[in-house]
C-alpha cells in the first residue's frame, strides 16, 4: 500500500532517498530548511569514489578532477595509496541540481525554506537526514562524539591526480586539487583544529583571506557495540550523518550514507531489520577503520621503514587483511 513519507533534510542522502522512494510509488514530502537557491551548499570536499555512479547519474560536467591516489606524508616517509576505485572531485552543487531535477520528474513534494521544530504529523514514515546536528537526535538528547572539519577553497587551478594528507593528533590536514581551485582542510578535535589548519596554511605561504573558508562538525561513530543512533520510535528512521554514519578514518560519508539509504529503502516496512542490516554492514568497517588508522599512524611515525612505498586501497571498504599482508611482504 502506498505510504506517505516525510524526509527531513535535503542534502545528497535526503534527496537520494526522496527520489528513489517517489520513483517506486510512495508519496514523499521532503523538508529542507534552506531556500532552493542556497540549498545546494554544504561544507564538504565532494571527494568521493566512483562508486557514486552506482547510485546517482554523474554527468561529465559534474566532475572537476579525477583522483587516482593519496600521498600520506609522515615526517620521515611518504607513502602512496592508489585508490580502487578512483575518486572524483565533484561539483557538489551540480550533483544537488541533478537530484532536485530527478525528484521533480518523479513528483516528490520538495518544500524548501521549511524549518522543522517538531516531528511532523500525518506521515506513515519519517526519515531524518538533517546532518550531524540532527533535530531528532538533539531532541532525544542523544550525544555522539564530533570532530571539526574546516576547509579553505583557494581559486588556483590545479589538476594533478593525487591528494596530499598530513597526519596530526586525532586527525589530519589535506590538500585536494579540484581543477579550478585548491582545497586545504583539516579534520581534528575542535579545540585545536583551526590552529592546525592555520599552521598548515602558513607553512605553504597561504592566508585564509585568499579563499573561501567554511567549517562544520563531523560525527564520529563510537568504537563500541551501539555506535550509531537509530532512535527508539517506531516508523521514525535516521540515515547518513544524522545517524552518525561517517568513515572514522576520513570523515567521508557520501558512499556510506547512500549504501545505508538503499538498505533503508529495502526495509522501509521493517525498522528492526533495517537496524540489523546496518549493524551487519558497518560495525565491522567502523571497528577495523579505527584499528587500521591507529596502526598506520603509529607505524608511520615510529617505524616508517616498515611501510610500503605504495599500496592499492579501497577507501570506502578497506580490507585490513590485504593491508597487513602488504606490510608483511614489505
Residue 115: CATH number of its domain: 3.50.50.60
210's grid cell: 585568499
Number of domains in the chain: 1
pLDDT at 330: 46
**In a domain? residue 308:** yes
Q: Does residue 128 register a pLDDT over 90?
A: yes
Nearest of 193, 242, 185 to residue 214 by alpha carbon: 185
pLDDT tens per residue, range 54-92: 999 999 999 999 999 999 999 999 999 999 999 999 999
Is residue 286 a part of any domain in this protein?
A: yes
On whether residue 277 sits in a domain, the answer given is yes
Considering the domain boundaries, does residue 131 fall inside one?
Answer: yes
Sheet order of strands, 236-238 included? 109-112, 27-32, 4-8, 125-128, 236-238
Mean pLDDT taken over the chain: 89
- For residue range 163-200, list pLDDT tens digits in order: 999 999 879 999 999 999 999 999 999 889 999 999 99
Arithmetic mean of pLDDT, 196-214: 94
Burial category of 226 from C-beta neighbours within 10 Å (exposed 0-12, middle 13-18, buried 19 and up): exposed
Spatial distance between the Cα atoms of 250 and 193, rounded to a whole number of angstroms: 14
Q: Is 124 exposed, middle or buried (0-12, 13-18, 19+ CB in 10 A)?
A: middle
Give domain status of residue 182, yes or no.
no
- CA distance linking residue 234 with residue 147, whole number of Å: 30
Domain residues for the domain of 278 are 4-43+90-145+222-329
126 within a domain of the structure (yes/no)? yes
- The answer to whether residue 63 sits within a structural domain is no
Q: Average of pLDDT values for 232-240? A: 91
Q: Supply the pTM of this predicted model.
A: 0.93
Task: Evaluate whether residue 38 is within a structural domain.
Answer: yes
pLDDT at position 95, please? 93
Predicted local confidence at residue 140, as pLDDT: 65
Amino acid at each position: 500500500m502506498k505510504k506517505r513519507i516525510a524526509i527531513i533534510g535535503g542534502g545528497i542522502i535526503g534527496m537520494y532517498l526522496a527520489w528513489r522512494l517517489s520513483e517506486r510509488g510512495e508519496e514523499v514530502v521532503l523538508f529542507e530548511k534552506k531556500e532552493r537557491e542556497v540549498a545546494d551548499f554544504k561544507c564538504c570536499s565532494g571527494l568521493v569514489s566512483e562508486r557514486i555512479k552506482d547510485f546517482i547519474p554523474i554527468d561529465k560536467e559534474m566532475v572537476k578532477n579525477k583522483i587516482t591516489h593519496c600521498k600520506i606524508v609522515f615526517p620521515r616517509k611518504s607513502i602512496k595509496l592508489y585508490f580502487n576505485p578512483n575518486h572524483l572531485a565533484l561539483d557538489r552543487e551540480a550533483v544537488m541540481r541533478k537530484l532536485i531535477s530527478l525528484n521533480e520528474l518523479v513528483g516528490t513534494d520538495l518544500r524548501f525554506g521549511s524549518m522543522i521544530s517538531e516531528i511532523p504529523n500525518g506521515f506513515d514514515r519519517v526519515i531524518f537526514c538533517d546532518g550531524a546536528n540532527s533535530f531528532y537526535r538533539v531532541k532525544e538528547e542523544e550525544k555522539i562524539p564530533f570532530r571539526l572539519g574546516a576547509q579553505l577553497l583557494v581559486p588556483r587551478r590545479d589538476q594533478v591526480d593525487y591528494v596530499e594528507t598530513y597526519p596530526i593528533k586525532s586527525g589530519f590536514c589535506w590538500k585536494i586539487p579540484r581543477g579550478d581551485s585548491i582545497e586545504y582542510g583539516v579534520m581534528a578535535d575542535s579545540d585545536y583544529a583551526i590552529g592546525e589548519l592555520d599552521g598548515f596554511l602558513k607553512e605553504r605561504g597561504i592566508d585564509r583571506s585568499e579563499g573561501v573558508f567554511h567549517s562544520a562538525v563531523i560525527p564520529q561513530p563510537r568504537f563500541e557495540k551501539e555506535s550509531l543512533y537509530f532512535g527508539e520510535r517506531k516508523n521514525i528512521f535516521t540515515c547518513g550523518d544524522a545517524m552518525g554514519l561517517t568513515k572514522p578514518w576520513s570523515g567521508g560519508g557520501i558512499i556510506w550514507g547512500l549504501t545505508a539509504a538503499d538498505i533503508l529503502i529495502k526495509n522501509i516496512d521493517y525498522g528492526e531489520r533495517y537496524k540489523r542490516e546496518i549493524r551487519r554492514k558497518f560495525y565491522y568497517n567502523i571497528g577495523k577503520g579505527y584499528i587500521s588508522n591507529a596502526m598506520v599512524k603509529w607505524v608511520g611515525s615510529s617505524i616508517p621503514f616498515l611501510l610500503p612505498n605504495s599500496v592499492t586501497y579501497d577507501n570506502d571498504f578497506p580490507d585490513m587483511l590485504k593491508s597487513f599482508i602488504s606490510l608483511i611482504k614489505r
